[in-house]
Structure 1
Amino acid sequence: MKITNRSLHRDFAYFYVGLIIAFSFSGIILNHREDWYPMNYTFESKDVQLNLPENLDLLTKEYIQEEVRNIDEKYDGHRVRNNTLRVYFKGNIILDVDTATGKGIIEYKRKVPLLGHTMYLHKSTNSFWIWYSDIFGVAMLLIAITGVLIPAGKNGFSKRGWKLAVLGMLFPIVFLVLFS
């Protein structure tokens, strides 16, 4: 069996088409996560009132666990940022409380079917998945390189393709120079 650029390009593209689609969707969504974040959606919420101390240094794990004891969920951690206490519970449940008033809202969240799961792939820190994603990155390089080498003649890489490739590479370089 003779291996050609065309066959390498085709076979890698066939093998990775599902992951290409999943990463494309989740990448677009991550780019717009300030506007719309479908990793989770709130299916239920409740108002909550906590008795918080004026001195936020007293917001210890023990203090917060005592304050949320009436909430029938398992405490999983907390943080204070921008005058908001966020308490995490097991099972994708989040409580946000205004530290000045003690008023808050607890949200019960679920992962958005399909889209939320593809985003998990994009953000995963699982060591197997990181290696698989690295292999995917190398495969994407192979798909790109073999793809540009397939056409020949007046539309080939050496005649016309390199100009478009250079133009396409200029966009990220200009963006990095201007905005980073």
Structure 2
Amino acid sequence: MKHATVRNLHRDLGYFYLGLIISFALSGILMNHRDMWHPEKYTVETRPVNVGPIDEAAVTEKYAKDLGEKLQIKDKFRRHNVKKGNLRLSYEKHDVEIDLKTGEGEVVAFKNTPLISQTMKLHKNTSNWWIYYSDIFGLSLILIAVTGAFMIKYGNFTFKKRGWKLAVAGLVFPLIFLFLLA
């Protein structure tokens, strides 16, 4: 392939996917930290509740759903669990946490964070058309990387002289995390 053709392909694919690359990169960073905070949602209102002491043995899915109705939560129920003496209920737009011994807790209502929640859906979307588009995008990123590696033809910074070492280091680094630290 001619040098000018490689440069043109690299440039045009880079321009075409620029927005998607930035969106995937930002949403990927946010998803890396989703256990520390909820990047997709922000708190709108927190209200205290007191339902009285709760027997952990009585906590079933039906009990959790009934309690949500009692607390006037109307959105879709997702799940419940008991952890460290607290009952946690998760709904589409609410989270509830109640101390089993005292029955005191809070209901947190939230909304989706504009733009961030839509961007993060890129990583979660499972529709066939999006999966195929993402596959094409992934292959294009490989093509962008390969064409970029061969854009410099002369000097000390070519792929043959220096680039391959950095490329190998770039492959080894995630493997270290994958096999030694994960």
TM-score normalized with structure 2 length: 0.83
CA RMSD after TM alignment: 2.3
Distance 1:47 1:169, change over 3 A: same
Where do 5+ consecutive residues of structure 1 fail to align?
Answer: none
TM superposition outliers: structure 1 runs of 4+ over 6 Å: none
Matches for 1:1-180 after TM superposition, within 5 Å: 4-51=5-52, 53-56=54-57, 58-74=58-74, 75-82=76-83, 83-90=85-92, 92-154=93-155, 155-180=157-182
1:51 is displaced (CA, Å) by 4.1
Count of aligned pairs between the two proteins: 177
CA contact (8 A) 1:40 1:112 kept: yes
Does structure 1 conserve the Cα–Cα contact (< 8 Å) formed by 2:56 and 2:100?
Answer: no
**C-alpha contact (below 8 Å) 2:47/2:107 kept by paired residues:** yes
- 2:152 is matched by which residue type in structure 1? P
CA distance in 1, matches of 2:100, 2:112: 28
Give the stretch that moved more between structures: 112-121 or 27-36. 27-36
SS state at 1:45 partner? strand
SS of alignment partner, residue 47 of structure 1? strand
SS in 2 for 1:26: helix
Extract unaligned runs of 5+ from structure 2: none
State the TM-score, normalized to the length of structure 1: 0.84
